[in-house]
Amino acid sequence: MSKSPTSQIDGADLIYVSTLVKVCEQAANYVEAVKKAKSAKLRLQEAYIQWRSQTGNQHTDIDRNSREWIAMMGATKPEYRALLSAKARERRAQAKLLRAVGGN
């Protein structure tokens, strides 16, 4: 009887393959997290545009901490929180990927 190709894999090869699979999984998770963060950023920008349009502030500069600024921040708080959450998930996914490749 001849040996099957898998019978020639030793422990070091299995560790290498296992590590490679983990890196691929973490890379895919990171890519997904980046996409979600970009999407959350776009939703926030759209919310700013919508608020400006609804309040007649489309073509005006809004000073930070002005009444208009504070109102816009209040109206877009859910989108802003979603962006912060998505960015945090992106950072965690990046850290996991770096750990999987032995970077940290």
**36-72 pLDDT per residue, tens:** 999 999 999 999 999 999 999 998 999 999 999 999 9
Indicate whether 7 belongs to any domain. Answer: no
Closest CA to 29 of 98, 75, 103: 98
Domain with 31, as residue range(s), is 12-100
- Number of structural domains (the chain) is 1
Residue 63 lies in a domain: yes
Report d(CA 74, CA 55) in Å as an integer. 13
Indicate if the pLDDT at residue 6 is higher than 60.
no
Residue 2 lies in a domain: no
Whether the Cβ atoms of residue 44 and residue 76 lie closer than 8 Å to each other: yes
How many other C-beta atoms lie within 10 A of the C-beta of residue 37? 21
Q: Is residue 70 part of a domain?
A: yes
Does a structural domain hold residue 4?
Answer: no
In this structure, is residue 26 part of a structural domain?
Answer: yes
Q: What is the pLDDT of residue 1?
A: 45
Amino acid 50: pLDDT: 97
